[in-house]
Structure 1
Amino acid sequence: MTSSSIPSNAVHICVDMQRMFMPPNPWAVGWFPETLPKVIELVQRKPASTIFTRFIPARRPGEGQGQWRDYYCHWADMTLERAGREIVDLAPELQAFVPPARLFDKFVYSPWFDGSLQRALVAEAVDTVIVSGGEADMCVLATLLGAIDFGYRTILVEDAICSTSDEAYDNIVKLFSDRYSQQVEVTSVEAVLEFWR
């Protein structure tokens, strides 16, 4: 639980709160509608300190490297060619925050893979990241592990992340509360708003 001040230059990384993960899409995250208001509360605190990541699927079935080719054959209806480019857009309620919030696109689960996010945070002397969004056991997990590897003070906002599975959500919160307790602070939207001035 966060009980100390969050520096003014902290960055809120909001993971993949996009149309493709909203019901009734095939990749819909069940908790998305309930989580969205909490995410909005965080974004409203400091829109200019928010980075939205967006997962960008393959253009057409069979594209991608290695296992991703099979993945997009299986999920052919979620490729850009079939689903339409608009599926990568943020949830409508979040689009108005960009700008000043920024977008970072990625083609895999981790936002750290191509180095652009890390370069931006280093250039801004950021040492603290606050993580929200979805999906808890996929892209949020990859975001957290990268932040740990780069040595950031990492804050997971447990009531502002979502998953398709209650069990997966509970396991992720427990994992970072227990196993990673020296590297990740698991806290609430209320606490972030109190300590991030």
Structure 2
Amino acid sequence: MTTPSPNQTVERDGDMRPAKAQIEPISSAVHVCIDMQNIFSKGGLWETPWMERVLPTIVTLTAWQAERTIFTRFIPPETPDQRPGRWQKYFRRWAQATRAHLPLCQLELVSELARFAPPALVVDKPGYSAFSAPQLYSLLTERHIGTVVLSGAETDVCVLATVLSAVDFGFRVVIVEDALCSSLDVGHDALMTLYRNRFSEQIDLVTLDELNSLWQCEEHTSVA
């Protein structure tokens, strides 16, 4: 089999796309950091093992773009019957995660990130996707945001839901690979492959170092 050169197009699952595409500069963007809360940190009810590992990267990103950062928080209901459909079954299974039982400090941002708000904004959401908070879409469109830069937890749950919602709304999505955390390598790795192979027109994957060189400086760009 002949190995394609770096600039050749290659066929993947019926698609033709560059083997290594040039990533366009990033502008009119915000950083949306998904659910970096105590409940997912070490010792939390839903501890995410990678969180400690990626937290320094997210802190660096947020410190650089604090005025253009939006933190989301996943907020469970007081009781299961406050949510529709299968969410009721979910929260009966996870009754200890409802606000009737969970210490509310578990829902706060981890302290390393909470110090950035303000100027960063905090948006509470009832579901997996950041866009389950209806005010988020309005906030972004009112500020003429075209690109969403994503970090946070977890790659294969809330980040995944947010990525696909953002794509459906027409935003360019930039995923900072070294600023994501998950509970399982297999789910994280599978999604990185999926995004590269099937969503290359709508999703870019970068490291924080690459983001630093791609995100163009903008004036008057606070999301507050």
What TM-score, normalized by structure 2, do the two folds share? Answer: 0.83
1:78–1:124 CA distance, 2 compared to 1 (3 A): same
Residues 50 and 102 in structure 1, CA contact (< 8 A), matched pair in contact too: yes
| Of 121, 126, 131, the match for 2:140 | 121
Aligned with 2:79 (options 37, 52, 60): 60
**2:70 corresponds to which residue?**
51
Q: Find the residue that maps to 1:4 and give its secondary structure.
A: coil
1:65-117: CA deviations, max 9, x gaps?
11111111111111112112111100110011000000111011012134211
* Inter-partner Cα distance in structure 2 for 1:4 and 1:37: 26
Aligned residue in 1 for 2:38:
19
Matched AA of 1:107: P
RMSD: 1.4
Structure 2 gap ranges (5+): 1-20, 218-224
Give the secondary structure class of the aligned counterpart of 1:83: coil
- What secondary structure, in the 3-state scheme, does the structure 1 residue paired with 2:60 have? helix
| Counterpart mapping for 1:30-179 below 5 A | 30-179=49-198
- The structure-2 alpha-carbon separation of the partners of 1:51 and 1:114, relative to structure 1 and needing over 3 Å to count, comes to closer
Stretches (4+) displaced over 6 A: none
Deviation of the 1:150 alpha carbon: 1.2
User: What is the CA distance between 1:193 and its match in structure 2?
Assistant: 1.4
What TM-score results when the alignment is normalised by the length of structure 1?
A: 0.94
Structure-2 separation of matches of 1:146 and 1:56:
19
Task: Work out the CA distance in 2 between the residues paired with 1:2 and 1:21.
Answer: 35
Q: Distance in 2 between matches of 1:82 and 1:17?
A: 20
Please identify the structure whose Cα radius of gyration is greater.
Answer: 2
Distance of 1:144 and 1:153 partners within structure 2: 10
Q: Distance in 2 between matches of 1:37 and 1:114?
A: 27
> How much identity, in percent, do the aligned residues show?
37
Q: Deviations over 1:5-54 (max 9, x none)?
A: 211x3100000000010122231111010011111111111101000011
Aligned positions, number: 196
Whichever residue aligns with residue 5 of structure 1, its letter is P
* Structure 2 contact 154–180 (Cα < 8 Å) conserved: yes
Task: Report which structure shows greater RCO (CA 8 Å, sep ≥6).
Answer: 1
Structure 1's unaligned 5+ residue stretches are: none
Aligned to 2:70, the other structure's residue is in SS state strand
| One-letter amino acid of the structure 2 residue matched with residue 60 of structure 1 | T
